[in-house]
């Protein structure tokens, strides 16, 4: 989906103000450190991490979403670094992170391969990858193949250990036709 699509979405839809319930549920499994939220959207997850002691970099290619996050983090006095960029153009130099949060990313196969290579390059030794996704197999009519199943996601990280996994039925406030099995995987390098 294009930058224009997501800018329009963030201009016209209600802001996401609550963090993903999976983050709250597994907060104890994620000791604070340095995090990057890839595909941060309006930043509810970034704000939650910052409020819980994380140093956070939030990345999204929607300038509208990043502006919402900047406004919210300023209001709450949270030092969240925001970057408006596509993954293909993201340049963080040699910066590394203890936690890489990936939330509901929609990518075709080749960009997905490149994206996961970027994720690997940004991860500190002993760092964790948290993937929040919507299992397309649970609702093939409502979701397309740009979403992954838990097994497909893990196939990109075969040399990582699955630390936690959870799922829930969710329609993300879009209605029954978009209901899917949302899932979270926490992986660490073996």
pLDDT at site 137: 65
**What distance in Å separates the CA atoms of residue 63 and residue 56, rounded to the nearest whole number?**
18
pLDDT at site 172: 61
The parts of the chain modelled with pLDDT lower than 70 are 1, 7, 10, 16, 136-146, 170-180
Domain residue spans of the chain: 3-10+27-189
Q: 82: closest CA among 101, 63, 54?
A: 63
pLDDT at site 139: 56
Of the candidate CATH numbers 3.40.50.150, 3.90.79.10, 2.30.40.10, 3.40.190.100, the domain formed by 3-10+27-189 belongs to 3.40.50.150
pLDDT at site 111: 83
pLDDT at site 177: 63
pLDDT 10s digits, 92-110: 999 999 999 998 877 777 7
Are 35 and 49 a contacting pair, CB within 8 Å?
yes
Burial of 130 (0-12, 13-18, 19+ CB in 10 A): buried
Write down the pTM of the prediction.
0.86
pLDDT at site 77: 95
Helices (DSSP H) in 54-166: which residue ranges? 63-75, 109-122, 150-155
pLDDT at site 185: 87
């Amino acid at each position: 989906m294009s930058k224009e699509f997501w800018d329009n979405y963030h201009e016209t839809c209600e802001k996401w103000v609550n963090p993903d319930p999976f983050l709250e549920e597994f907060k104890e499994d994620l000791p604070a450190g340095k995090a990057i939220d890839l595909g941060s959207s309006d930043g509810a997850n970034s704000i939650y991490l910052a409020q819980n002691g994380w140093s956070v970099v939030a990345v999204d290619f929607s300038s509208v979403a990043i502006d919402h996050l900047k406004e919210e983090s300023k209001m709450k006095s949270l030092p969240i670094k925001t970057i408006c960029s596509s993954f293909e153009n993201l340049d963080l130099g040699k910066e590394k992170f203890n936690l890489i949060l990936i939330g509901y990313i929609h990518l075709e196969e080749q960009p997905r391969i490149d994206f996961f290579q970027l994720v690997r390059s940004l991860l500190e030794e002993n760092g964790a990858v948290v993937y929040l996704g919507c299992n397309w197999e649970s609702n093939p009519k409502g979701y397309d193949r740009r979403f992954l199943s838990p097994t497909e996601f893990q196939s990109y990280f075969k040399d990582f250990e699955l630390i936690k996994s959870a799922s829930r039925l969710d329609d993300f406030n879009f209605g029954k036709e978009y209901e899917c099995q949302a899932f979270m995987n926490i992986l660490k390098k073996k």
